[in-house]
Amino acid sequence: MHADQKYIDALITHDQRLISEIYQRFAPGMKAYLLSRGCSEDDAGDVFQEALIDIYKLSTDKQFVLSCPFEAFLLLVCKRKFFNKTKKTSLQVVTNGEEDAYTHIPGDANASAEEHANQLGREELVMSMLEQMGNCKEIILKSLLKKPQEETAEEMGMTYAYFRKRKSNCMGELAELVRNNPQFKSLVP
Partner 1 sequence: MNYTLEDIEAYLNGEMKAVQKQEFEQQLTTDIQLQKQVEELRFLQTTIDKHLQAEQTLPELKKILTPLTQTHFHKLEQQKGGKVISMNRVFAAIALAASVILIFFLFLPGVSVDGYPVDDMSGAINRGNETQLAKAAQLFNDQKYAEAVTAFQQLKTESPDDATINYHLGISLIKTKNFTEALPLFEDLAKGESVYKEDANFFAALSAYNLQQNDKAKEYAAAVKKESKYYKYAKAVLKKTK
Q: Which residues bind partner 1 (CB under 8 A)?
A: 11, 14, 16, 19-20, 23, 27-28, 31, 41-42, 44-46, 48-49, 52-53, 56-58, 60-61, 88-89, 122-123, 126-135, 137-138, 140-141, 144, 164-165, 167-169, 171-172, 174-182
Nearer to partner 1, 28 or 106 (CB): 28
Nearer to partner 1, 128 or 159 (CB): 128
Amino acid, single-letter form, for residue 113: A
By CB atoms closer than 10 A (0-12, 13-18, 19+), residue 105 is: middle
Shortest spacing between CB 108 and partner 1, in angstroms? 26
Shortest spacing between CB 73 and partner 1, in angstroms? 17
Nearer to partner 1, 2 or 25 (CB): 25
Distance, CA of 186 to CA of 189 (rounded, Å): 8
Around 185, how many Cα atoms within 13 Å sit in the side-chain half-sphere?
6
Nearer to partner 1, 67 or 119 (CB): 119
- Do 59 and 93 touch, CB atoms closer than 8 A? no
Distance, CA of 155 to CA of 180 (rounded, Å): 33
